[in-house]
Chains A and B, each alone.
Chain A
Amino acid sequence: DTAVSQTPKYLVTQMGNDKSIKCEQNLGHDTMYWYKQDSKKFLKIMFSYNNKELIINETVPNRFSPKSPDKAHLNLHINSLELGDSAVYFCASSRSGPFEKLFFGSGTQLSVL
């Protein structure tokens, strides 16, 4: 069973479209994250939720909106996609409080044309 799973694995779309990426973890973890990895492989935090509450909201455009219906799920919706949004988006989870190690999903490769 995959611990942190995200769908879809690949997403190719036109500029201006709206898309969603879903993430689920079956580890019983309390905290979930979205990271963005650019073409130079730099991983940067976007959002963090702890028990469905938003903990971290980095400087991310308002077009990105996370939603956590329960602590096992954290989805990412992106409005009005732009070329610069092309990247790999990773979902991750950690057990409980801060300073815990992260478990990553396999990533969603988003290409905006």
Chain B
Amino acid sequence: EDKVVQSPLSLVVHEGDTVTLNCSYEVTNFRSLLWYKQEKKAPTFLFMLTSSGIEKKSGRLSSILDKKELFSILNITATQTGDSAVYLCAVPDSNSGYALNFGKGTSLLVTP
């Protein structure tokens, strides 16, 4: 059975800090790893990673995948209160590929 484990489960930082969120996975058939941000409502897509060592970047957020060690990290630099959210990591289901199997998320709170 596919497994996605995120750490830490929750994190409180001050504005301006840099945070690193972790996601490790065990899957039978790896194709990609995805990061989502969930504020009050719908999870919104951040990144999809398929290749090891290639950093994806969007503003202050960046993410990288290590396929040998089976993990990914999501970095947020110069955090702002608007970054407060639950960050979800997911991998496509090994059997069908049609569903995403999510980790339990990291709840990030950025305080002023």
Contact = CB atoms under 8 A, between A and B. Distances in A.
Interface of A: 4, 31, 33, 40-45, 48, 50, 55-56, 58, 90, 94, 97-99, 101-107
Task: Kindly name the residue among B38, B41, B100 whose own CB sees the greatest number of chain A CB atoms within 10 A.
Answer: B100
B45 A107 contact: no
B96 to A, nearest CB: 6
Contact of A41 (B31, B92, B96, B107): B107
A43 B42 CA distance: 11
5 A-B pairs with least C-beta separation: A98-B97, A45-B99, A104-B42, A106-B41, A43-B102
Contacts of A105: 42
17 contacts: A33-B99, A41-B38, A41-B104, A42-B102, A43-B43, A45-B93, A48-B99, A90-B42, A94-B98, A99-B31, A99-B92, A102-B43, A102-B100, A104-B42, A106-B41, A106-B42, A107-B42
B10 to A, nearest CB: 10
Interface residue range, chain B: 20 to 34
Contact of A48 (B42, B96, B101): B96
A102 B105 CA distance: 17
B106 to A, nearest CB: 10
Contacts, number: 60
B32 interface: yes
Contact of A98 (B38, B43, B45, B92): B92
Interface in B1-54: 31-32, 34, 38, 41-45, 48
Contacts of B48: 101
B42 A50 contact: no
B104 A55 contact: no
Contacts of B64: none
A40 B38 CA distance: 13
